[in-house]
């Protein structure tokens, strides 16, 4: 698992008001109750603030799972080196 994943999952849990460690790296919008498009935007903002990065509109449109968020962070150079 990518070293970023525990932080991503924790940010998703907070945004969705879920208990800590209730989600895992497979968390996805279509499988997680309470995760809708509005919550996705909240998650994106939380991730941008936490990792001090910004995402393009195209990236934001594809961020519907912990894995896709991790991919976007890596594409932005977060967690490398």
Q: What is the pLDDT along the chain (81 residues), one digit of tens a residue?
A: 689 999 999 999 999 999 999 999 999 999 999 999 999 999 999 999 999 999 999 999 999 999 999 999 999 999 875
Q: What is the pLDDT of residue 80?
A: 73
Neighbouring CB atoms inside 10 A of 42's CB total 16
Is 71 a domain residue? yes
pLDDT at 60: 95
Q: What is the pTM of this model?
A: 0.93
DSSP 22: S
Residue in the structure block whose two tokens are 């279509």: 30
Alpha-carbon gap, residue 56 to 71, rounded angstroms: 13
In a domain, 75, yes or no: yes
Q: How far apart are CA 52 and CA 32, in angstroms?
A: 26
Q: 78 near 51, Cβ under 8 Å? A: yes
pLDDT score recorded for residue 79: 83
Is 28 a member of any domain?
A: no
Look up the domain containing 49 and give its range: 1-6+37-81
Task: Report the domain count for the chain.
Answer: 1
């Amino acid at each position: 698992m990518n070293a970023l994943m525990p932080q991503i999952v924790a940010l998703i849990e907070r945004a969705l008001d879920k208990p800590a460690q209730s989600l895992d790296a497979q968390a996805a919008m279509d499988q997680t109750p309470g995760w809708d498009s509005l919550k996705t935007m909240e998650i994106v903002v939380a991730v941008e603030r936490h990792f001090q990065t910004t995402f393009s509109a195209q990236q934001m449109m594809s961020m519907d799972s912990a894995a896709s968020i991790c991919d976007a962070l890596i594409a932005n150079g977060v967690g490398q080196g």
